[in-house]
Amino acid sequence: MSQSTIEVAGGSLFPTYARYPLAIVKGEGSWLWDSEGNKYLDFMSGIAVTNLGHVPQRVKEALVAQLDQLWHISNLFQIPNQADAAKLITDNSCGDAVFFCNSGAEANEAAIKLARRYQQLVARNGRYEVISFTQSFHGRTLATLTATGQDKVKEGFLPLPEGFTHIALNDIELLKATITDKTAAVMLEMVQAEGGILLVDPTYIKQVAELCKSEGILLIIDEIQTGMGRTGKLFAYEHFGIEPDIFTLAKGLGSGFPVGAMVAKEALREGFTAGSHGSTFGGTPIATAAVKATIETIVEEKVVDHAAKQGEYLITQLREKLSGCSFVNEVRGLGLIIGIECKEPIASVIVEAQSEGLLVISAGPNVIRLLPNLLVSNEEIDQAVQILTKLLSNR
């Protein structure tokens, strides 16, 4: 693909993305190649999507096999792959019922709808308000961007749906003061990824879970970016000794094939009865073939254990190599979702890293976000750390 082809293609698209002038055409494991033949070490994973690396063999084989059998049938019929994929999720989590959709935003939309519908039609208490947190990110539908605690995603989309309140994270007294008799759910991320790799306080989240239980409020955990092994557990909530009423998945769920899921406890099954919610492309034979192969690989090959070990290695190396770097404030993270907070904006660092053959992403203006695949090797980590140390130490 020539540079002129890239420019022509871009001219036919809405300019909703600030794209880098790279056309990525091939991927394998931790590596990507652009249209000019340049090779890059990928520490973005498509923003926490390709958790098993690019084109993982087992998922590829499952997709190829499914392509020869059936692509789409609609949810008016039984879909064996969908039932199998749902059972893999419930067998390996605290959830009991799964709704498949196409994206993280749709999964969070389904979670909000389920919380409201359960409270209003099953619990019959009329509750509809959702409390979420500043610096959070939950999607770009009207409801999920309203739930998002960042004003930048809301500009120009007024009026926004009512029933959403945002408060600061890790302040239990503030949460208690915010709850009303209309509060249906509390929605949060274990790691605020888009907000700067900000971790929930372990004591706080336990207090939140206890408070929600005592008040009849549903606890929704957004696992779109943290789920599927990213944090060194299959789901991030497992680190904190809690069980959400609802949690959401997407990104790494299909190894790059677009799919999302909303997972809930058995008691909430009554909230979504026939006809109450739906998705034409939710849980197609192809999508759930990818989900099945992805989860089977993660579980059977103990990928989560490897992610935990490699995450510890990566964060240790970063802290050691950057300890004397005046440009860096802090290195923080959980498993293989890691942020390097810097004293100044880091947009230029990301571009310079690309020139050095390393792909990373930001998490806010001052944070470099690292999201290598969960099978990343020590040698690949060492190479990335060497490049980042060089770039950050020279500032």
**Model pLDDT, residue 390:** 97
* Nearby residues of 280 by Cβ (< 8 Å), 6 or more positions away: 74, 75
H helices of 53-123, where? Answer: 57-67, 80-91, 104-117
290-335, pLDDT tens digit by residue?
Answer: 999 999 999 999 999 999 999 999 999 999 999 999 999 999 999 9
Beta bridge partners of 185: 130, 218
Beta bridge partners of 270: none
Q: How many CB atoms lie within 10 A of CB 263?
A: 28
SS3 102: coil
93-121, pLDDT tens digit by residue?
Answer: 999 999 999 999 999 999 999 999 999 99
Q: How many CB atoms lie within 10 A of CB 23?
A: 15
**Model pLDDT, residue 4:** 44
279 shares its domain with 290: yes
310 shares its domain with 259: no
Number of domains present in the structure of the chain: 2
**Model pLDDT, residue 1:** 37
325 shares its domain with 251: no
Domain boundary, last residue among 300, 322, 344: 300
Burial 364-388 (b: 16+ CB within 10 A, else e): bebbbbbbbbbbbeeebbebbbebb
354 shares its domain with 367: yes
CATH code, 22: 3.90.1150.10
CATH code, 104: 3.40.640.10
Beta bridge partners of 28: 31
37-55, pLDDT tens digit by residue?
Answer: 999 999 999 999 999 999 9
311 shares its domain with 275: no
SS3 103: coil
8 shares its domain with 106: no
CA-based diameter of the chain, in Å? 61
The stretch 193-212 carries a mean pLDDT of 97
- Judge residue 147's burial from the number of C-beta atoms within 10 Å of its C-beta, 0-12 exposed, 13-18 middle, 19 or more buried: buried
Provide the strand spans (E) within 211-281. Answer: 218-222, 246-249, 260-264
Report the C-alpha gap between 304 and 4 in whole angstroms. 42
Domain span at residue 202?
A: 57-300
282 shares its domain with 156: yes
- Residue count of the chain, please give it: 395
36 shares its domain with 76: no
Tokens of 65: 């096999």
**Model pLDDT, residue 2:** 43
Domain boundary, last residue among 242, 266, 300: 300
Beta bridge partners of 219: 186
Radius of gyration of the chain (CA): 21
The continuous run of DSSP H or E covering 133 comes out as strand 129-133
Domain boundary, last residue among 273, 300, 327: 300
Report the C-alpha gap between 283 and 81 in whole angstroms. 8
SS3 61: helix
Decide: 358 and 384 in contact? Cβ < 8 Å: yes
150 shares its domain with 258: yes
19 shares its domain with 65: no
* Nearby residues of 334 by Cβ (< 8 Å), 6 or more positions away: 190, 191, 199, 226, 231, 232, 236, 239, 311
